[in-house]
Structure 1
Amino acid sequence: MIVELKNEQFYLCRHLLNRQAHLEPISVINQTNPGRVFVDDNTNPTSGMVWLGNNDGFIFFGNPHNEKFNQYIDPFIDQFLVEEAKKVDLDYMEAIGNSKDWNTTLEKVFKKRNHGNWNQRVYTLKNYEYLDKTEPNIELEYKIQKLDNRILTSVDLTNLDTLKENILESWSTIDDFCSKGIGFCIIVDNEIASYCYSNFVAGSVHCIAIETMEKYQGNKLAQKVAHTFVKECFIHKKLPYWDCMEDNDPSVAVAERLGFKSYFRYIGFDFSF
């Protein structure tokens, strides 16, 4: 069987997580970021999955060879997760293993589904690896601002609501983000042109969310705001963590230009409900 844990029970899963792999399940289990946790046993779990609060995937952890858990994954999806996903307008599943051994298990579990897969890269950056000389200059009309309560409650920025919605996908509240996360944006003509912020945090490690609005792309704004974010991380002794699809060439290029080094790679599986 598969059961859902209450938040106060999440600690039961800490020892099951691969701490040399994904940051996101650690942040959920530690209750820094929101999410839901499902396991094979609510008193002594050995396998489980984290449903990330931003609906950006289900990460399977613990023993990948646990038949007690694995045999219930497929029916659990059809009988429970599909209805829960509809409540948040999610019509597909992205499944990721917290260790390489999960890849074989998930391939077997989903063999009857018309699933696809993709490759993902994770990078980290230590301060001695940082290539500060690659920081670009940008036009004077672009202003860099810290993402704090002052900016995030501004009434002057025309597209602020979109940024706040993105932040609240992985944080319980804006205040929670401001107290635990790091973020910067670039503003021009009362509009946010680019931003970079922590969307998941586990201890001193900050996972990066970064985006440049389409009409401002090509002006090196992503590079600039990423440099600003990284330098702030180092000031506060935090480790930047960059997770992107392997075929996302612009994202890979920005990360490697700053000096980010490959940490690990993983496979994701996806299919429609």
Structure 2
Amino acid sequence: MISELNKSDFYKCRGIVNEKGQLEIIAVIEGVNPGRVFVDDSVSPTSGFVWLGNNDGFLFIGNAENEAFNNELNNFIDRVIIPEAKKVRLNCFEGIGNHIKWNKTIEKVFEHRKLGSWNQRVYEVHKVDYKASNEPAIEQGYEVVKISDTFFDNNDGPIINIEFLHSKILEFWASPESFFGDGIGYCIVYKNEIVSVCFSGFVVGNVHCIGIETLEEHQGKKLAQKLAHSVVKDCLESNLVPYWDCMEVNKPSIAVAENIGFRNVFNYIGYYFLFE
């Protein structure tokens, strides 16, 4: 029977996680980033899935050929997951395998649900690969600022949209304190408004998965590329490994990563179906 683990029991899943798979799963299991974990056996799990705290997918871990678990998945998703997902305004289920054997299982288990898929690419950059000379200049008036706790608090009120930064950080982190304890981040300010952010979304050991977003009206000005350089430089100076995870169809994101010197380390398939 599928059940949800208490956070204090997440450690029980360490042995069934593919260490060479997605960083996000390990970040949740290690308690660095928020998320929920559902397993076949709360005492000694062999199969399960992790619901990322930023609602960016359900990642399947462990034995992909566990018939008892697989046979219960559809009913559990309909009965438990979909009502919970709708509360946070999710309109589809995004399922991802922590290793390649899950692809066949996901395709079989959800074949009746009008299943779609996409390709995802994962990159890393190390000091030897970093292309510092490709850092772009940005237009006058745009200022790169490191995200400090003082800047985040905005006590003097100079930033008019500080809620944008708050919502982005808390999308990935349980609290600002958690982020400042483990993460790194920079933003670009224009006329007292944050127009682009780049920060550690998930962290495992010395590996930092980078999240990035630029307001639509300020896109096309190389702001994301400028910020990515800032975060990458900060990481490399501290012997941290920047990690970049993006959809294969997101050509601008891939271009930014490769221009900086990120190298493609592995790829995986994501699946989705809409809630009825």
Q: What amino acid is the match of 2:172?
A: S
Segment of structure 1 superposing worse, 40-49 or 141-150:
141-150
The structural deviation recorded for 1:221 is 0.9
CA RMSD of aligned residues (A): 0.9
Matched, 1:102 2:102: yes
- In structure 2, distance between residues paired with 1:88 and 1:187: 30
Q: In the aligned structure 2, how far is the partner of 1:217 from the partner of 1:4?
A: 41
- Hey, what's the Cα distance between the residues in 1 that align with 2:19 and 2:39? 18
Aligned to 1:111: 111
1:11-22 equivalence runs, <5 A? 11-22=11-22
Match of 1:223 in 2: 225
Q: Which runs of 4+ in 1 moved over 3 A?
A: none
Among all aligned residue pairs of Structure 1 and Structure 2, give the percentage whose two residues are the same amino acid: 52
SS of structure 2 residue aligned to 1:19: coil
1:128 paired residue number: 128
- Quote the Cα distance in structure 2 between the aligned partners of 1:257 and 1:137: 14
TM-score, structure 1 length as denominator? 0.98
Q: Deviations over 1:145-202 (max 9, x none)?
A: 1111111111221222022112111100112111110000011100112110011111
> 1:118-148 CA deviation, whole Å, 9 max, x = no partner?
1110101111110111011123422111111
The corresponding residue for 1:180 is 182
The one-letter code of the counterpart of 1:198 is S
Q: Per-residue deviation at 1:246?
A: 0.2
Tell me the SS of whatever aligns to 2:236: helix
Structure 2: how far apart are the matches of 1:195 and 1:86? 28
2:95 & 2:142 partners in 1: Cα distance?
39
Aligned length: 273
In 1, the alpha carbon distance for the partners of 2:160 and 2:16 equals 44
2:213 — aligned with what?
Answer: 211
Q: Which amino acid aligns with 1:54?
A: N
Q: Secondary structure at the match of 1:81?
A: helix
Q: Normalising to structure 2: TM-score of the pair? A: 0.97
**Runs of 5+ unmatched residues, structure 1:** none
Aligned to 2:7: 7
Gaps of 5+ in 2: none
